[in-house]
Structure formats: structure tokens, C-alpha cells
Structure 1
Amino acid sequence: MTETTQTQTHSGNITGALWMLAAVGLFTATVTFVKVLGEELDTFQIVFIRSVVGFLFVLPFALRGGKSVFIPKRPWVLLVRMVSGNGNLFCSFYAVTHLHLAAAIAISFVRPLLLIFLAIWFLGEVIRWRRWTATIVGFLGALVMIRPGFVEIEFAVIIALMGAAFGAASHTSVKLLTRSDRHLTLLVYPSLFGCIIFMVPGLYYWQALTLTQLGLLIVMGGSMICAQTCVVRAFAAGEATFVSPIQFIRLIGAALIGFLIFGEVPDVWTLAGATIIVSAALYTGHREIKVRSEKTPAPPPPSTDI
């Protein structure tokens, strides 16, 4: 890799990090809405309405984008994205509605660790030891929070772990697809697929909606599709193994929301795990900025010609 290529890679990682930070904020808002709605509505109904809202939100942009949006260049990889993305959506929503918010988010952080292996095998990314260390430390921070052996391994925990696996596959497929397909392609097809597969169970468990619930569902669908847009742009700009660990910061927002809105008081283990996770994410970003500055060529000295 030449010096110019390295500089471009690091610059892309910083851009990707900013997009991922935006996604973190939007996802935190989304899970808050899901948690509120899940107290009265079934998960299937929530994900079905979310899929419909997301599809209607992105469809006008896709139509304006022309025929190329609807012609995927890697249909089989797109199929993986559609299945894994919607699998992650359902599992994540189920975990959020059946577990404490911070615990559900913490378990989802198995995903970046799985993503490292997928990035090596399918994306050909070179993983340096500092990035390995930061990701593993962040994962250990999540384990500190959920404390295996102290937290009952219930069905919702298994679903949350399945969601992490689906999420890793989804993010890897997004990274592959952004090399060939348009961003809108990665958004419109998964949303349409979600409408189809969740329609029957969503209607089966359907309950009449209040105006407040309808408003929350619409806002949730919009925030979710915006968050996914940010994720797509993050993986298009930066390396998957760099931008993905930034999602650890979601844990802080989840803990705060859980405390302020749902009365979930974080204990010392939650605070300790959150500190470890955020430190790992911040260290990764600090190292990337430092490496980028070292690789940027110094400006030429001023001319001494008379």
C-alpha cells in the first residue's frame, strides 16, 4: 500500500466514523421508541409497520434515482443483506422489548467481534493488533455488564445473540455491496423484503393503534431508515473493522435512556463495562487520527529564491 493510498484510507475512516456516530444517535432514538411501543404492541407488528414506513420513506428517493437503483449488480450478496438485515431487525427489537435496554445493547456488541473474522475472510481487510485489542476490550466491557453466570440465560438473550450474528453478516454484505451498488439499492430492497416477510405475522398479531402509537411508529421508521443510511455511508467511506467498534458508544445512550425514561438504574457493573467500552472506542479513533497525521506529507519548505 502506497503512502497516498494509506492517507486516503485513513481519511475515509474518519469520514466513516462521523457517519457511524450519526447512526449511533439515530439508533438510540429508535430503540427508545421500540421500548415504549413494545410495552403494548407485539414485536411482529412493530417490525412490520417499521418496514412499511421505511419502504415508503425511501421509495421516492429510489424512484428519482432511476432504473439503476432497482438493478442490483450483486443479487446474491443483496439477498444476504436482505435476510440478515431483517433478521437483525426482528431480533434486536425483540431483545429491546424483553430485556433491560442497556443489557440488550450490550449483548449486541458481540457483532463487531464477529465482524472482524468476516472482514478478513470476505473483505480482505488487514487487521492490526491495536484494532484487534480495542475490539476485544470493548467486547469484554460488554461481558462485564451482562456478567455471564449472574444473568439468567433466557430466550430473549438467545434472540439478542442471534441478532448480533445477523448484524455481523448484514454489515459485511453492506461493505461488499457499497463497492458495486448504489446506496439506495441497499435500502429499498431490504425494506421491501421486510414488508413481505413480516406482513402475515404482523397482521396476525395486529392491535388497533392510538394516535400516539401511530406517531411514534412513523417517527421510529423514519429514524431507523436514516440510521441505516448513515451506516451504509459509514461502511462505504471507512474500513468495516474500524467504523463498527464505534457503535459501542450506543451503550452509554442506552443506559441513560433506560435510567431517565424506564427507571432502569445502572449498577456498578454497568458503569464499569460502559467505561471500558467507550475507552476502547475512543482509543481506536485516537490511534486512527494519529496514524493519519503521521502519514500526511509535510508541506514543502518555503522557497529561498530571490
Structure 2
Amino acid sequence: MTEQNTRLGIGLMVVTTLIFALQDGISRHLAGEYNVMMVVMIRYWFFAAFVIAIAARTAGGLRAAVKSRFPWLQTARGLLLAFEVCVMVLGFVNLGLVESHAVFTCYPLLVAALSGPVLGEKVGWRRWTAIGIGFVGVLIILQPGVKVFSPWALVPLLAAFMFALYGLLTRYVARGDAAAVSFFWTGTVGAVAMTATGLWFWEPMTAPDWGWMAALCCTACLGHWCLIRSYEVAEASAVQPFAYLQLVFASALGITVFGEALETNVAIGAGVVVCAGLFTLWRQRVKAKG
């Protein structure tokens, strides 16, 4: 892998995190005005159209994209991601972008913790120590017993758990399915699931909000395209640490646009979680090379 490609991959990852942060801000606005299920459903319609278009252009076309060695696991992945998106958007509306993302950043730690029972991978004492320190960071953010505890604070933690499980299942099915197959199943299964639930919550939207909805759908497609390109041109271990920039961008958006506050405990806790997550990524890279 050349240095130029690595730089390009890092640049694409930074752009990806910025786009996803904007997407989260738009989601918070729309879900504050309309039902979350409907908002996510429409977003998935465009996402499904995007993945179908991508699959049609790959070798073998749609017929190859549909064929999976793990259809039930692929279905579970699609459902997990769709409902994780719903849960996270609920967190944005009720908790805000800053605190939701601060808690959600623990998902790489959950991936490391669950990789043993789910994938049979060995997690050494160094990574277990980092996982423990990371969850101390989560407790610093949530401050249970120090202030009146809001149950909504557990929502992004649930989303992080669902996203971690989704990531582990993605790694598992990668043993037999190409990335294009997993991408196709993610979009189509999610669209079917959200249509089955979201249509029950349909409500009319204003013309300006349809514009925001169009922007949401475009950012979803553009963000995923940049993410795919990032992993195509650079090693995942080189670009993955930069995914934490989404916390920075989303927090800046929450503070400047939605008038949220960055509490000291949230900043400190998020810093602890990010450092622990970066250490687990580094250890995973060292182990892979060794």
C-alpha cells in the first residue's frame, strides 16, 4: 500500500465522518418533527436503491449479490443495523448529539469484548484492561448516582451494543460472502424491515422538510460511498482511528446548531473512551502483524 493511497484513504475517512455527522444533525431535526420510524424508512428507501445500483454494476450483477452462504445471518445483520439507526436517532432527539456520540464511541470496545464469544478470537489482558478503562469513561459520562439519571442515557449505549454486534456478524459472514453481497443485504433487508414498520407511522411533511429529507438521503449514499472508497484505497487499520472524528464533528454541530452544552464530565469521559478504543485498535493491528 503506497503512502499516497493511505493519505487518500485517511482523507476519505475524514470526509466520511463529516458527512455522517451532518446526516446525524439532519436526522435529529427531522425526528424531532416527525416519527422516527418514518424518517428512517424513507432514508432506507434511498439507501436500498443505492446498494441495488452498486450491486448491478459489480461482477455477476444482482444475481451474484443475492447469493449468500449465510442468508439468516445476513438478514440478522440488516435488521440489527436498521433498528440500531432508529435507536440512535431516538438518542439524538432525547439526549442530544454531544452526549449520544460520547457514549456511542464505546462500540469498538464492545467489538473487542464480544469478539471472543462471537468469533472465537482471543482477547489478551492488555485489551481487556483497555476495555475496562473505556467503560470507566462511559460511567464518567453517565455519572450514575451523581445526578438525576435519565434512562435516555442508556439509549446510545444500546445502539453501541447493536452496532458492535452488527460489526462482528459482518466479520463472520465475510468468511464466505463478498463485501458486495453483505452491502446488498444490509440495504435491502433494512428497507423491507423499515417499510413494514414505518408505513404505520406515515405523516405529511412540509416542503422544506422534504428538502431536508432529500439531503438526508443524499448524505447517507455519499457517506457510504466515501467509506467504501476509503477501505478500497487504504488498509482498514490505517483509517479506522480517524472514524472517531465523527464525535468531534457531531459535537460541534450539536453545540453550534442545536444549542447543546459540552459538560466537563462528558468531555473527560469521551476522551477516556476514545483513548481506550485507539489502544484496542493498535493492539489488534500489532496482533495481526505478529
Shared topology, TM-score over 0.5? yes
Question: C-alpha displacement at 1:128, in angstroms?
Answer: 3.9
1:101 aligns with 2:97: yes
Q: Structure 1 stretch 255-264 or stretch 230-239: which is displaced more?
A: 230-239
Question: C-alpha displacement at 1:243, in angstroms?
Answer: 7.9
The corresponding residue for 1:32 is 25
Output the TM-score relative to the length of structure 2: 0.79
The corresponding residue for 2:43 is 50
**Residues in 2 aligned to 1:91 and 1:150: alpha-carbon distance in whole angstroms:** 25
- Residue 83 of structure 2: which of 78, 82, 87 is its match? 87
Residues 97, 254 of structure 2: 8 Å contact kept = yes
The verdict on how the C-alpha distance between 1:23 and 1:126 changes in structure 2, with shifts beyond 3 A counting, is farther
Which amino acid is 1:24 matched to? T
Q: Structure 1 stretch 23-32 or stretch 242-251: which is displaced more?
A: 242-251
Q: SS of the counterpart of 1:198?
A: helix
The corresponding residue for 1:252 is 248
The corresponding residue for 2:70 is 74
Output the TM-score relative to the length of structure 1: 0.75
Which amino acid is 1:44 matched to? M
The corresponding residue for 1:164 is 160
**Residues in 2 aligned to 1:231 and 1:170: alpha-carbon distance in whole angstroms:** 17
Q: Structure 1 stretch 205-214 or stretch 48-57: which is displaced more?
A: 205-214
Q: Can you give the 5+ residue segments of structure 1 that lack an aligned partner in the other structure?
A: 1-7, 296-306
**Residues in 2 aligned to 1:49 and 1:281: alpha-carbon distance in whole angstroms:** 33
1:139-288 mapped onto 2 (5 Å cutoff): 139-150=135-146, 152-228=148-224, 230=227, 238=236, 247-283=243-279
Residues 43, 90 of structure 1: 8 Å contact kept = yes
Residues 23, 231 of structure 1: 8 Å contact kept = no
**Residues in 2 aligned to 1:25 and 1:136: alpha-carbon distance in whole angstroms:** 29
**Residues in 1 aligned to 2:176 and 2:13: alpha-carbon distance in whole angstroms:** 21
**Residues in 2 aligned to 1:233 and 1:123: alpha-carbon distance in whole angstroms:** 25
Q: Structure 1 stretch 224-233 or stretch 137-146: which is displaced more?
A: 224-233
1:125 aligns with 2:121: yes
Determine what percentage of the aligned residue pairs are the same residue. Answer: 24
Question: C-alpha displacement at 1:18, in angstroms?
Answer: 7.6
The one-character-per-residue Cα deviations of 1:268-293 (angstroms, maximum 9, x if unpaired) are 2122223333444455567788x59x
**Residues in 2 aligned to 1:133 and 1:38: alpha-carbon distance in whole angstroms:** 38
Which amino acid is 2:166 matched to? S
Question: C-alpha displacement at 1:48, in angstroms?
Answer: 0.5
